[in-house]
Structure formats: C-alpha cells, structure tokens
C-alpha cells in the first residue's frame, strides 16, 4: 500500500512517508528497508528523522496498532491541524473473542473507540464489515464516515531466483499436476482459519485411496496445540501432508501459481486476501460461502457451505473447483487511487 501511494501521489503536491511514534513524537522514514517476506535479503533500516505532522498532513492508521499507545502522538498532531483516517479490517476480536489471545477483546475495543473518536474517516475492506461497524459505533453514539476500501491482490511481482527455487523445491512438494494434485492452504495456524476441517477432509480422502497432497503454509499462531500435535504425528507427514512457514513473497507466488487449487475455508474473515491473490494468479479456489469472501473473490471460487465437511470433500473429489468464471482483479494502485478520492487528495495537491 505504501509503494502504491508513492506511485499514485508523486511530488510536487504531497509526500508519502512511513512513520512511527514514541510518546508525542513522530519519526518519518524516506525509505523502508525491504521486508524479509520480499525475498531480497536482510538490509538495515535507514535512520528516520523527527517530524511534526500538522496542518495539511493526513495520518493514516492502516495496520494493527492496538498493542501500542499511539494516542499521545496522534493528539499532538491533531492539535497542530493534522487529519486522521483509520482502517478497521474486521471486528472479529469483539465478535469472537474465543478465537484470539486472552485480553485482545478489551484492547481492541478501546483502540477502536479511541480511533472512532478522533478519525474524520474510517475504512473497512468489505461491505459486510461496514454494516457491522456502523451498527456498533452507532450503539456507542459514534458516527464517523465509513467507506469501503477493498484490498489489492498484487502482493508480489518478483519471480524466485535460482537459489530460491532450489531451496523451495528441496523443502516443499513438487508442483501440482492432474495425476499428482497439490492443494494449498494459506494463513496463520489459528482457530478461525479452520485448518482442522481441511485436514479432516483429506484424512477421509486419503482413507479412500485419494492421492492428493496437502500443503499448509503459515506460521504457528495461538490455540492450536491439538492441531500441531495432529500434524507432527500424522503418518503422511512429509509424504502427502506438508507444512511450510516463513516463505518469501516470490516463493509464495510461485506456490500459488503451481498448486492445483487454494482451499480457504475460514469460519469468518474481514476480507480474505488469499482468495483475491490466488484469483489474480489464476489459481482455482475452494472457499467458505461467507459474504466477505464473495466480495473478495467474486465469481471465481467454488463456494461451499461454511464448516461443511461433506461439501469440502465433494469439491475436492469431483474437481468442482474447475471454473470458467472471470477471476477477480484489484491492484494496490487502484486501491491507492480510491484512497486518494476518499481523502480528497487531488484537491489538496492543487
């Protein structure tokens, strides 16, 4: 998103900066060191410089910040005339606290209240989340404008280099083929992602003699000890069942393009980015039939009833994921342009 905004809002007119805060102070970074996920190696972060956001500046809180205390710095900037906008990706910590770490519900609720009190504009990734957020804020007497700013799916344009490909092929299964399918599951191992349902389906298929392979890609999260025990002790581990973590974006892009299909069946989501990313790379998708994934994937996925083991097994066994529908498409540059419209950036640059 940062890079897309830099491309869409070039100087003169305005400057797009990554910022951080400490106390009431802000620090800006003209450039950011590559993230480890980009697969470009480790690079030191160039030193930032102190700034004082004020009149004419817009602070965009786009990522999770509820474990920090941004409000002294935000309030100091607002007092100097800055504007605040914030992204609310979902309300799941409030709606399903049992899926998350203890204490997150209260932290998240306080953070959301503070942001809604200060922001002139809030964004959500889907209409489904918008309706739920507006209802919640109205119950608290808060009525900031809430706009839908869906995410982009072009997360990586780099292809793995030779060394990355060799490492990938040495540690993960070979590409999927008609005779040797490879099904991919993306996402942190956590309760709402429903990895256990997927594993139940493949255990049934393997018991029937099905030769498909299953690859789970995601770091280990929370409340998944039974799932981890099941994975580590599975008789087909590293034969038909695989788990990978800490992959770079180029490696992940390669995997999506070479998998038979993506399986993405969470209990709930705020958006469901892997569905859009897979669609844009031409990878078939089996997804939970929930409103947010309909918005993220359009007509591309094969949708199944949420938590339906029989429907998931049938979709895999009958190749129901094969589709002639047009894939969903949305780039981060398109998102940045929409953001600029929301924030009236064109008029500000004149």
Give backbone dihedrals phi and psi of 243, rounded to 5 degrees, phi first.
-135, 130
Q: Calculate the alpha carbon distances from 115 to 31, 52, 59, 69, 83 in Å.
A: 27, 20, 12, 11, 12
All structural domains of the chain, each given as residue ranges with its CATH number in brackets, are 2-152+332-348 (3.40.50), 162-317 (3.40.50.2000)
Query: pLDDT tens-digit profile of 67-126?
Result: 889 999 999 999 999 999 999 999 999 999 999 999 999 999 999 999 999 999 999 999
Identify the helix (H) or strand (E) that includes residue 295. Answer: helix 291-297
Does residue 165 register a pLDDT over 70? no
- pLDDT given for residue 346 in this prediction: 41
Q: How much of the chain is in helix, strand and coil states, percent to nearest 5?
A: 40, 15, 45
Give backbone dihedrals phi and psi of 255, rounded to 5 degrees, phi first.
-65, -45
DSSP annotation of 21: E
- How far, in whole angstroms, is CA 103 from its chain's centroid? 22
DSSP annotation of 237: B
Q: 2: pLDDT confidence band, cut at 50, 70 and 90?
A: confident
Does residue 46 register a pLDDT over 80? no
| Range 5-34 average pLDDT | 85
Q: What strand order describes the sheet that includes 49-51? A: 18-22, 25-29, 49-51
User: How large a percentage of the chain has pLDDT more than 70?
Assistant: 91
Residue 193: helix, strand or coil by DSSP?
helix
Among the residue ranges 61-65, 270-274, 329-333, the one predicted with the least confidence is 61-65
The Cα 294–Cα 312 span in angstroms is: 17
Query: pLDDT tens-digit profile of 181-230?
Result: 999 999 999 999 999 999 999 999 999 999 899 999 999 999 999 999 99
Mean pLDDT, the chain, integer: 89
| Range 253-278 average pLDDT | 94
Query: How crowded is residue 324: how many other Cβ atoms within 10 Å of its Cβ?
Result: 5
Interior angle at CA 199, CA 197 and CA 202, nearest 5: 115
Query: How crowded is residue 20: how many other Cβ atoms within 10 Å of its Cβ?
Result: 13
Does residue 345 register a pLDDT over 60? no
Q: 44: pLDDT confidence band, cut at 50, 70 and 90?
A: confident
Backbone φ/ψ region at 87: left (φ over 0), alpha (ψ -120 to 50), beta:
beta
- pLDDT given for residue 6 in this prediction: 86
Does residue 348 register a pLDDT over 60? no
Residue with tokens 């972060």: 45
Around 339, how many Cα atoms within 13 Å sit in the side-chain half-sphere? 30
Q: 347: pLDDT confidence band, cut at 50, 70 and 90?
A: very low
Q: 168: pLDDT confidence band, cut at 50, 70 and 90?
A: low
Does residue 272 register a pLDDT over 70? yes
DSSP annotation of 43: -
Does residue 349 register a pLDDT over 60? no
Here the tokens at position 125 are: 């990734």
Query: pLDDT tens-digit profile of 284-333?
Result: 999 999 999 999 999 999 999 999 999 999 999 998 888 778 899 999 99
């Amino acid at each position: 998103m940062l890079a897309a905004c830099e491309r869409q809002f070039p100087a003169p007119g305005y400057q797009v900066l990554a910022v951080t805060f400490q106390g009431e102070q802000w620090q800006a970074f003209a450039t950011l060191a590559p993230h480890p996920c980009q697969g470009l190696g480790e690079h030191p972060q160039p030193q930032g410089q102190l700034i004082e956001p004020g009149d004419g500046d817009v602070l965009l809180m786009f990522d999770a910040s509820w474990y920090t205390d941004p409000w002294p710095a935000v309030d100091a900037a607002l007092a100097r005339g800055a504007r605040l906008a914030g992204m609310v990706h979902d309300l799941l910590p409030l709606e399903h606290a049992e899926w998350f770490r203890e204490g997150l519900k209260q932290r998240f609720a306080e953070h959301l209240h503070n942001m809604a009190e200060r922001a002139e504009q809030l964004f959500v990734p889907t209409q489904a989340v918008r309706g739920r957020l507006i209802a919640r804020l109205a119950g608290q007497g808060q009525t900031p404008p809430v706009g839908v700013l869906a995410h982009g799916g072009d997360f990586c344009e780099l292809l793995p280099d030779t060394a990355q490909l060799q490492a990938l092929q040495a540690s993960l299964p070979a590409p999927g083929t008609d005779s040797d399918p490879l099904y991919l599951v993306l996402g942190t191992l956590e309760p709402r992602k429903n990895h256990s349902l997927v594993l139940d389906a493949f255990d049934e298929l393997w018991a029937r003699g099905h030769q498909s392979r299953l690859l789970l890609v995601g770091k280990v999260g929370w409340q998944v000890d039974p799932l981890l025990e099941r994975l580590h002790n599975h008789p087909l581990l590293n034969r038909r069942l695989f788990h990978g973590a800490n992959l770079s974006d180029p490696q992940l892009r390669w995997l999506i393009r070479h998998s038979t299909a993506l399986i993405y069946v969470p209990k709930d989501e705020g958006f469901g980015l892997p569905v859009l990313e897979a669609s844009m790379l031409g990878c078939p998708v089996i997804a939970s039939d929930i409103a947010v994934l309909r918005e993220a994937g359009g007509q591309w996925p094969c949708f199944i009833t949420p938590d339906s083991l029989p429907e998931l097994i049938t979709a895999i066994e009958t190749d129901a994921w094969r589709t002639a529908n047009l894939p969903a498409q949305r780039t981060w540059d398109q998102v940045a342009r929409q953001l600029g419209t929301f924030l009236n950036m064109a008029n500000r640059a004149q």
